Structure 1
């Protein structure tokens, strides 16, 4: 019986990025891009090892938390002119030096393709391991007609300029067959490349020998190069990502925003200026169950309002309110309680919660949250804020039996 071939997935992730600052740490669907790539690689059956090549300590920390080993990339391979191939070769050498075994197949996986799947990665590896290809890449079918401008002739002195003219690249503009009558062409997605390791060392580039295409879903093809690409990725994530909700094994602490998360974001004001908000009794049951389960809890609010403190006392939960920078307060709270932020769930509803979303491992939006918050969340409740969203989160963590608790009395009121 032969040993399993070593298939090393290398994810290049420099710290510098001109188009999108700190791009490789930018969250999409509540998960940093580098962590999304690591999860896809770890989900691939044929991948044995995952390494992130980086020059950035924050990226390295995120990569290790997501389950990858890291390779510190030297400065000479970290500049704008350094090739991905050079980073992959360096990572292969570093891997062999640490583990004492050679790499059989090496994969170059780009974390700027946020919607790659384990099946894509396995498909590329299988072409080399099982079907005799030397190299392979993900590609999407395309029936698009490509054009290019013709090079204009230089007009003679005093002559009129040559009119603009375009040429068909992959078609004869005089003959326009129907889509169903055309053979598809394939667009390189930039997501995953695979190489036989020995051949890659010999040739030094990713397309030597026999190259195989692994056809992927065109709807999932997106490369993030600028802020507009990132915005599109965040908008698409709720549609393309598989629904994911945390369990108690994923989370050590739950931090809750107040207005709009534990309430419906409305405030009633009487003639004397007293404020009233509505909260949900089911949320109180959920918080009590989380507390009994031993999870650390915190209410975090920018509002310094007696109603927030009163509700926290009723729930028996610590509160930090009147906080200008919620993310700084949350980081300090995690440090004070020796909590890994990646194991913290933060539930919020509005744009002032986004900095906290970028800090924790489980950013959760309530169903009624602002669109930007929903797009940045890793999970979204089915229930709006103030209508039992916290109860729903507690059911994710503690199991479906929590859903059987009575919730008939919908709301209670807290006042200043």
Structure 2
């Protein structure tokens, strides 16, 4: 069980890291902290004492307790190895090892140390990761947003990265309110291409499965809808299935089973990614349906899963290694620009949007 003084300590530390308390700002008095946390003066003093000893706070006699200066500019030894943090929603799953390898190979070759973090697509985990990054001597951050379709509760941590002059770029998606440099696939066009492919093959009853807590899923669903509209094909309300990260292994297969039990069975399936496509392939096998004879299915990302089963998936490519390497090159440019002789120089680094490509394999056929 967490001690009372440690709870006070971590809360104050979080307020420093998210920018609520700025450098050299006076924090609340002991009496105010006692009322806020409902603890004794001794508990407050123990918490503040540890934060002073660890360099987070300093005291001025008769004036109060203040936040220590956190900016590291000008104090780094010239021969110190620079450190880049890479944060993804997952590390060892799906396409993420390829993205990380692309970035890590370039950064290591350039003499940078790499720290890897995973949020597991959870905002509380993202908060802990950002606090860890802000507590360390990190020079730049490559980050994949967590639940990018939602308003982010950790936005202040990104503001603090900016205040501390720590450059960051985002991959796969971005927080719209920050308007950051990013590397993304044109997912709306990708979703459009998935759907139009099946429409050109004569399919009309096409069900789409989209993970909608991430921006990629929202945009792919938009492309699915746009393809139907442009081709003047009505969409059944039952044919758009949305799910969250936590629901993917449960809701998607359950919903497909319901649709396959109806009179109007779908002949085509559009998937948020290759991972969900393989989950749905298991349902089709269970129902004794053949792909593509009975049902055509399209994945997304051209991951290793696209060719992992006996059914080779038609899918949309994802630049994976290239995205990782390009992100690494961009963050190095930003770090060098920040630490160069003219720090106000506007480094020419721009957002990268990759155009999708349809890769046709044996999982789709004419109706």
Normalising by structure 2, what TM-score?
Answer: 0.29
| Larger Rg over CA atoms | 1
For normalisation by structure 1, the TM-score amounts to 0.26
More helix by share: 2
